[in-house]
Amino acid sequence: MTAFTIRVPDEVADRLNQIAQKLDRSRSYMAAQAIEDFVSREEWQLAEIEAGITEADRGEFASDDDVARVVGKYVKMTSRS
């Protein structure tokens, strides 16, 4: 396991301490968990972006009709008088 030092604003450190105390965990554990969660989320998001770019490079786009169907599910048309 690798150890390193980070600097955070005092307010953030205080909030982290409060959470750690409420969960009966160490501040170090909580910080490591937060970093792990961040890294996992960023990896997932970047993989999805890269997959989307690959699809776009292959010309795989939704048709106008596909987009209209999706929008139609969520947007109610209002009649203008």
Per-residue pLDDT at 78: 58
Q: What would the pLDDT profile of 10-54 be if each residue is shown by its tens digit?
A: 999 999 999 999 999 999 999 999 999 999 999 999 999 999 999
The encoded tokens of residue 36 equal 């792990």
Which residues, including other chains, have CB under 8 Å from residue 17's CB and lie 6 or more apart? 27
Total structural domains in the chain?
A: 1
26 in any annotated domain: yes
Q: Is the pLDDT of residue 79 over 60?
A: no
Mean pLDDT of 50-69: 92
Q: How far apart are CA 2 and CA 7, in angstroms?
A: 17
Domain of 28, in residue numbers = 10-74
81 in any annotated domain: no
Per-residue pLDDT at 76: 76
Answer for the pair 30, 20: CB distance below 8 angstroms, yes or no: yes
4 in any annotated domain: no
Q: Look up the pTM and report it.
A: 0.69
19 in any annotated domain: yes
40 in any annotated domain: yes
- The distance from CA 14 to its chain's CA centroid, rounded to whole angstroms, is 24
3 in any annotated domain: no
